[in-house]
Amino acid sequence: MQRHCIYLALGSNLGDRHNNLTIALQQLSRIMDITALSSLYETTPVGYLDQPDFLNMVCSGTTELTPEELLHQAKTIEKELGRQPTFRNGPRPLDIDILLYDDLRLQQEHLSIPHPRMRERGFVLVPLAEIAPEQIDPETGKTIRELLHDLTAGGKPEGVRIYPKRIELKTVKAGYKPQNP
């Protein structure tokens, strides 16, 4: 089967955010070969501001899943980690977004690739630029580095701060056992 290069954004702002992301990556490793993890970034919420700050990151890898299968699996993992239906931009223990899938451009009712708002979000572009600065956005033809520069006018994005802890790829690949499930 053909393998596809994918980039996913992960975020969490409820519960043990670091643990939520670690467990999510472990679950994702069942459906994809994770090849890179960005640093963690603590970010102020977008849209609905009366909620805790998020931890955000990006991972890259390869998968044999179709975009629709990947979306289904991501939503299943979100539910397994306690995500409940809520309002747009509301608080959540886990959010997984498909940013890029090969150089695919796809518009469906519940799935758009590249992610339609990634170019507007520092909390996505900063970690994505960390692990894939030369990756091309198939929608604009620009590199991720260029998109980040355009968003921030060459400065630092507001509300995106490096978080002191990391999640290591070796931890994800070795299997993560939560301390207090």
Residue 41: CATH number of its domain: 3.30.70.560
How far, in Å, CA of 44 to CA of 49, rounded?
A: 8
Instruction: Give the C-alpha separation, 99 to 116, whole Å.
Output: 8
Q: Which of 101, 106, 6 is nearest to 60 (CA)?
A: 6
pLDDT digits (tens, 9 = 90+) for 92-115: 889 999 999 999 999 999 999 999
Whole-prediction pTM:
0.92
| Residue 34 covered by a domain | yes
Mean pLDDT of 57-79: 96
In a domain, 137, yes or no: no
As annotated, the active-site residues are 83, 92, 95, 97
Q: Looking at residue 172, what is its pLDDT?
A: 78
Q: Within a domain: residue 55?
A: yes
What's the number of domains the chain is made of? 1
